[in-house]
Structure 1
């Protein structure tokens, strides 16, 4: 049975990933600062500070894949990219695959750019978060070839404010923002989670970023 460990397993993306993974028979362990009020049946919740070295070592122990679903907000500003760099070293040493849930800000709007975060309409309030997760991606690209990692950017419209439903139908892209015929870029939490668990179960992307959208 595949073992997946999720850092930030009680957040929006993390909880969706945990629920999808359990439904598909994976062994799921979720690290978070506290146990959720409504835990997902079948998930092994572990509380702890993910910034703690011992927690990172524990996260890569006895697992096949570690997925980071943390956002640099709520007191974590400036801390997530360095954490991912540290975790990458731990994962490489343990021969564990590493997945990172990023944002849409680092995607390109067209081949050659610009990035979504650099467009005029991108909200100033979330630029620091977008820049930090973009930095995390660039750090992963410089890691040793022996580290098997993947980085997933959701569509532009992704979050608790755009929950959506599970359709089981979506597109997979690379570094370019995917939009539909109306110019919208959207993905539900459940479908995004399905794409990530698909990647965990049947790896198709190694040492690269992919994106998910309708």
Structure 2
């Protein structure tokens, strides 16, 4: 599982690193990528979060994660993978507390009744472990939040 964000000194380096990793891993090894909210959809059928008032300062990082997702989607090797879009309010600036629950939203960002999108690092980790232990998104992506 890769949870490396393409920000700061890592901007522009994560995508090539994932490509290199995939080139040396055996084909039967499943890979998981923790991306960002930017590539998830705001509603069924689009548009993406990044195209809907997304802050400019986060767009390069979000685009790198989107590019990794598109690389996985274009891969014809048959390798299994999953890509997780955390909630929009996920990050080190908002660690949150473990609640022991989460919701998944397919391609659409998970929001609460007020339209807010959050998840703690601990609950995101549980969602990732649940996907590893009981795969529900074979060669696919999913969103996660409260």
Selected match of 1:186 from 114, 118, 133: 118
Larger strand fraction of residues: 1
> How many residue pairs align between the two structures?
146
Selected match of 1:107 from 32, 40, 55: 40
Gaps of 5+ in 1: 1-66
Considering only CA atoms, is the larger Rg found in Structure 1 or Structure 2? Answer: 1
TM norm structure 2: 0.94
Aligned ranges for residues 57-96 of structure 1 at < 5 Å? 67-91=1-25, 93-96=26-29
Deviation, structure 1 residue 205: 1.3
Gaps of 5+ in 2: none
4+ runs deviating over 3 angstroms:
none
Q: State the alpha-carbon separation in 2 of the partners of residues 145 and 114 from structure 1.
A: 28
TM norm structure 1: 0.65
Q: State the alpha-carbon separation in 2 of the partners of residues 85 and 184 from structure 1.
A: 33
Highest RCO, 1 vs 2 (Cα 8 Å, sep ≥ 6)? 2
2:81 alignment partner in structure 1: 149
Q: State the alpha-carbon separation in 2 of the partners of residues 75 and 84 from structure 1.
A: 16
Q: State the alpha-carbon separation in 1 of the partners of residues 27 and 40 from structure 2.
A: 30
